[in-house]
Amino acid sequence: MTGVRKFFKQHGWSYLFILPSLATFALFTLFPVVWSFIISFQDYSLARGGKWVTPFYANYVEAFTILNGIFAVSIRNTLVYTLFTVTANIFIGLILASLIQPLSNHLRTFFRAAYYLPAVTSALIIGLTWAYIFNASWGFANWPLRAVGIPPVRWLSDPDIALASITLSAVLTIPATAIVLFSAAMGAIPQEYYEAAELDGAGPIQRWWNITVPLLKSTTLYLVVLYTIASFEVFERIYVMVPSGVGNSTQTIVTQIYNNGFKEFDFGIASAQAFVLFAMIAAIAVAQFRALRSDVEY
């Protein structure tokens, strides 16, 4: 007890500076998460409150069986969307960062700023822009098809290709964060490595593949985890581009949580689905850390 009193006497005043942030975090983040976890085991209603379900995991079971397993379909759609978008973002970001790295400092700064513009643009605006591009009647995506006599494609209304169209729109959006972070990480690699490899006769591609790519492993890990979380939580793009959902073809985990929570007002099921999403992201993140972690220092 004396040690605790001594600690607070020496350092307690410093905690006053972070108290507002801690209080805000507890009120608007920690408390809602804990309350949502409790609700996931209840039949909860805004009017009558919560009632514990029996067995206690019933909401989690029902989450996968509700409406003939739509949630299972949404998980599959989310995994497909995540696989393609994360792979494309990492690959495109690495290639573009590698192309601008040999440029002068002023040109590198210009391209970093230019590529980062999409990151500060509202996701709703980007979604609306792609909705216009993929419009079946007058969208730009069908313009070259009409020019060669091909009938218009229903990019966002055909259930067979709607999810692929949304995924394509995400892939074609410049991965700003990946470009900036990869470019910064490349600038920190000692030039002596490249000079030694060049003296040994290694070409530009060999130097890039055997020096640059391995030494970017820690940055790649961070970006893979970051983009995986963002892809699993995709909502705005789908909600704006296909408000009707095109049946179940574009349902994702978050759209299902939204539908159950804010349309059906089934908060117990929605909370259970939210924690299933959390468990999936955590499991995938752990697997990614095990696969990509690196102790390389330079």
Backbone angles phi, psi at 57, to 5 degrees: -95, 15
- Is residue 16 very low, low, confident or very high in pLDDT (cuts 50, 70, 90)? confident
Q: At what angle do helices 162-171 and 58-100 cross, to 10 degrees?
A: 40
Q: Which of 163, 155, 162, 164 is nearest to 132 (CA)?
A: 155
What are the residue boundaries of the structural domains of the chain, listed by start? Answer: 59-253+271-292
Q: Which of 267, 268, 279, 247 is nearest to 73 (CA)?
A: 247
pLDDT of residue 55: 85
pLDDT of residue 167 exceeding 90, the answer is yes
- Whole-angstrom Cα distance, residue 180 to residue 27? 34
Q: Which two tokens stand for residue 240?
A: 């704006």
**Helix, strand, coil share (%) of the chain residues, nearest 5:** 75, 0, 25
Read off the pLDDT of residues 28-52 as tens digits, 9 standing for 90 and up: 999 999 999 999 998 887 767 778 8
The pTM for the full model equals 0.88
pLDDT of residue 292: 80
Instruction: Tell me the mean pLDDT in the region 148-172.
Output: 91
Write down the residue that tokens 């006497």 correspond to: 9
Amino acid at site 53: V
pLDDT of residue 175 exceeding 70, the answer is yes
CA distances from 215 to 64, 104, 144, 222, 225 (A): 42, 22, 42, 13, 17
Question: Do 130 and 169 meet the contact criterion of CB atoms below 8 Å apart?
Answer: yes
pLDDT of residue 122 exceeding 80, the answer is yes
Instruction: Tell me the mean pLDDT in the region 134-158.
Output: 87
Q: How many CB atoms lie within 10 A of CB 84?
A: 17
pLDDT of residue 61: 85
Percent residues over pLDDT 70 in the chain: 96
DSSP string, 74-110: HHHHHHHHHHHHHHHHHHHHHHHHHHHTTS-HHHHHH
Instruction: Tell me the mean pLDDT in the region 266-274.
Output: 90
pLDDT of residue 296: 56
Radius of gyration of the chain (CA): 24
Indicate the DSSP class of residue 118.
G
pLDDT of residue 280 exceeding 80, the answer is yes
Mean pLDDT of the chain: 88
Q: Which CATH number fits domain 59-253+271-292: 1.10.490.10, 3.30.70.790, 1.10.3720.10, 3.30.1540.20?
A: 1.10.3720.10
